[in-house]
Amino acid sequence: MFIISLLSDFGHNDPYVAEMKAVILSINPQARIVDITHSIEKFSIRMGAYVLASVAPYFPPNTIHVAVVDPGVGTKRRPIIAETNRSLYVGPDNGLLMLAAHKEKIINVYQIDNPKYILSKVSKTFHGRDIFAPAAAHLSRGTSPSDFGLAIQDYVFPEFAKPHMERGELVGEVLHIDDFGNIISNISAEALELYGVHEGDSLLVTLGSKKLNMPFCSAYGEVPVGTILALIGSSNLLEVAVNQGIASKILEADVGDLFCVSAVDSS
């Protein structure tokens, strides 16, 4: 039994997500469908790529991930299947799938153009239902990725900002604000380790135009309620939080803001 995961920016008010599920179940009534989220910010390929790459490693091998954040639907952007050593990714060729696929080992990327595996009438506004959902359902029934079309080399790879050193600071940016208001950066635990700061240190964090001192903790509850802290979150990235508070509101932070770190000189 194969698992098919779904991620999109479709929201929950419309028939769109259910139409994808209905198409999948019409082709493979045994498919096991799991929603990742349908609340990706509209058209935010970056947020979609981040969430997909965060969650994919926890799924069992052979999971088929369908992701649809697709501002170019109906234009020349291609529908693709990315096959890795662990999973299959189905969606638009706009970089959405590749952050997750790249964390595994990419074997091949195929363009989907075999009409046999596409709904007979394809809307130019909803490839999620008419191309991606049927592709996932056929994959879950054992169709080989190479049956969908030719392998391509020139797929889009996302160019997301990477943290770097500048004047002794680790310079990154805000990658995601989670539902608790935690401000998640693109700076990994490994980067901090290399930079030489550790839990227990005091950090100087630049968030947009604000400079803030805060303790580098290991759990939210290590500081009093309402206090700012930094910690490594569950995706292994540095985040700024407020214990039981909404850090993004208190600090007026947004995705894309500058997020720099240096250790406070305690001398």
Q: Give the residue with the Cβ less far from a copy of itself, 101 or 171.
A: 101
Residue 262, SS3?
strand
- Residue 132, phi-psi category: left (phi > 0), alpha (psi -120 to 50), beta (remainder): alpha
Which residue's entry shows tokens 């947009």?
208
Q: Give the residue with the Cβ less far from a copy of itself, 112 or 171.
A: 112
The whole-angstrom separation of Cα 43 and Cα 66 is 16
- Secondary structure tally for the chain: helices H, strands E: 7, 14
Length of the chain (residues)? 267
Q: Give the residue with the Cβ less far from a copy of itself, 32 or 103.
A: 32
Instruction: Compute the Cα dihedral for 129, 132, 135, 140 and give only its sign.
Output: negative
DSSP state of 38: S
Q: Give the residue with the Cβ less far from a copy of itself, 134 or 145.
A: 134
The whole-angstrom separation of Cα 86 and Cα 101 is 9
DSSP state of 25: H
Task: Tell me how far, at minimum, the Cβ of 88 lies from a copy of itself, in Å.
Answer: 15
The whole-angstrom separation of Cα 176 and Cα 167 is 25
**β-pairing, 3-8 with 64-68?**
parallel
Task: Tell me how far, at minimum, the Cβ of 206 lies from a copy of itself, in Å.
Answer: 23
Q: Give the residue with the Cβ less far from a copy of itself, 43 or 195.
A: 43
Q: Give the residue with the Cβ less far from a copy of itself, 23 or 81.
A: 23
Task: Tell me how far, at minimum, the Cβ of 24 lies from a copy of itself, in Å.
Answer: 10
Which token pair is 150? 């030719």
Residues near a copy of itself, by CB under 8 A: 1, 3, 5, 10-19, 21-23, 25-26, 29, 32-40, 42-43, 51, 54-55, 58-60, 63, 71-75, 123-126, 129-130, 176, 178-180, 218-222, 231-235, 243-244
Task: Tell me how far, at minimum, the Cβ of 111 lies from a copy of itself, in Å.
Answer: 18
CB-neighbour burial class of residue 183 (10 A; exposed 0-12, middle 13-18, buried 19+): buried
Task: Tell me how far, at minimum, the Cβ of 99 lies from a copy of itself, in Å.
Answer: 13
Task: Tell me how far, at minimum, the Cβ of 223 lies from a copy of itself, in Å.
Answer: 11
Q: Give the residue with the Cβ less far from a copy of itself, 39 or 143.
A: 39
